[in-house]
Chains A and B, each alone.
Chain A
Amino acid sequence: MKKKNTNVIMAIVLIIVGLSLLIGGKLLLDSRKTEERLYACVYSLTMAGRKLVKTLPLQEGNKQRYNFEGPLGVTVVEVDGLRVRVLSSPCPDQVCVQFGWLSQVNDFSACLPNAMMVLIEDGKTTGN
């Protein structure tokens, strides 16, 4: 009986901790809004480091698709105004597509199988 009680207390405490971390984490992610012009930087990933492939400026009214060749095939990146996403990828796990729309500084979507990363940067850090 005693073990059951500790379990319940443990579960409740940890669930509260977990939920507050979730909310805190969400707030942290939302706190990055800036007015600056942002860029979506597309990198290719190698064991030696990442290499800038293309810089796509994010501005109103700019709707375009770009194809990038990786080791597995073509990754399609879609820019729609102030946001960008990985539209399709040849990788098996599709994590990069699940990242969805990116619109804030440091938002990223990485595809390890196809060695590709999209990262949002402001003018200062572009290309670093």
Chain B
Amino acid sequence: MTNKNRLRNQVFMAVLIGIASILHVIEGLFPPLPVPGAKLGLANTATLIGLRTLGFWPAIGISMARSLIGGLFGGSLFGPAFFMSFGGAIMSALAMGLISKLKKLGTNNIFVSVIGAITHSITQLTIASYLIKHSGLLYYLPLLLGLSTLTGVFIGLVCDKVMAILPAAFCAEQKSRD
């Protein structure tokens, strides 16, 4: 990789982290979905775009950075809610990274984003069950999975739209790497 590309990628990653952090905070202001604590997962768009344009590790870095910065903004840093968001963000980035290595389905933004959303909600439910030491939470699993599938489809569509207008140079990068 030339120096110029490297600089460009670093700048792009920084921009994605900034966007993700802001989305993370803004999302908290939205009116709540029917299931308490459920969110759209807007910040996941930045992770997915990072995954497509920069690769596996940068995407994980973006998701870690945005939960740290988002937690700092939201005032929940290192509280229990922070660990739920941090764990969910990392696990969903990992799952999306692995799934996107699949030959056919892996190239589909909608599929990858749904996998990410589902992993996110399962991780969060697991952490929450651990924190409140009660398994009654699992009653909400089907409801949560349904909701995250729907939001995942939405986020995947958003990613498709964003990728379509990204400068061609970034998408070319991805192709040459595969």
Binding site for B on A (CB under 8 A): 6-7, 10-11, 14-15, 17-26, 28-29, 32, 43, 45, 49-50, 92-93, 95-96, 98-100, 106-110, 112-113, 117, 119
B50 at the interface (CB under 8 A from A): no
Residues of A within 8 A of B168 (CB): none
A27 to B140, CA, bound (A): 11
A22 to B37, CA, bound (A): 16
Q: How far is the CB of B34 from chain A (nearest CB, A)?
A: 9
Q: How far is the CB of B107 from chain A (nearest CB, A)?
A: 8
Q: How far is the CB of A101 from chain B (nearest CB, A)?
A: 12
Q: How far is the CB of B75 from chain A (nearest CB, A)?
A: 6
- If A92-B76, A119-B136 touch, whether A21 touches B110 (CB-CB below 8 Å) is no
Query: By the criterion CB–CB under 8 Å, are A14 and B132 in contact?
Result: no
Number of interface residues of B (CB under 8 A): 40
A-B contact count (CB 8 A): 112
B72-90 CB contact bits vs A (8 Å, 1 = yes)?
0011100111001000000
Residues of B within 8 A of A6 (CB): 108
Query: By the criterion CB–CB under 8 Å, are B111 and A10 in contact?
Result: yes
Q: How far is the CB of A106 from chain B (nearest CB, A)?
A: 4
Query: By the criterion CB–CB under 8 Å, are A29 and B143 in contact?
Result: yes
- Considering residues B81, B114, B142, which has the most beta carbons from chain A within 10 angstroms of its beta carbon? B142
Q: How far is the CB of B123 from chain A (nearest CB, A)?
A: 15
Pick the contact of B81 from A26, A43, A113 — CB < 8 Å? A113
Pick the contact of A113 from B80, B132, B140 — CB < 8 Å? B80
A107 to B141, CA, bound (A): 13
Residues of B within 8 A of A7 (CB): 108-110, 160
| Interface of chain B residues 103 through 127 with chain A (CB within 8 A) | 108-111, 114
Residues of A within 8 A of B109 (CB): 7
Binds A, one of B5-13, B52-60, B93-101, B147-155: B147-155
A11 to B81, CA, bound (A): 31
A18 to B131, CA, bound (A): 27
Considering the complex, give the chain A residue whose CB is closest to the CB of B147: A22
Query: By the criterion CB–CB under 8 Å, are B153 and A15 in contact?
Result: yes
Residues of B within 8 A of A95 (CB): 32, 36-37
Query: By the criterion CB–CB under 8 Å, are A112 and B142 in contact?
Result: no
Considering the complex, give the chain A residue whose CB is closest to the CB of B32: A98
Q: How far is the CB of A105 from chain B (nearest CB, A)?
A: 8
Residues of A within 8 A of B142 (CB): 21-22, 24-25, 28
Query: By the criterion CB–CB under 8 Å, are A14 and B134 in contact?
Result: no
A11 to B149, CA, bound (A): 10
Query: By the criterion CB–CB under 8 Å, are A110 and B81 in contact?
Result: no
- If A22-B143, A117-B134 touch, whether A10 touches B108 (CB-CB below 8 Å) is yes
Query: By the criterion CB–CB under 8 Å, are B132 and A110 in contact?
Result: yes
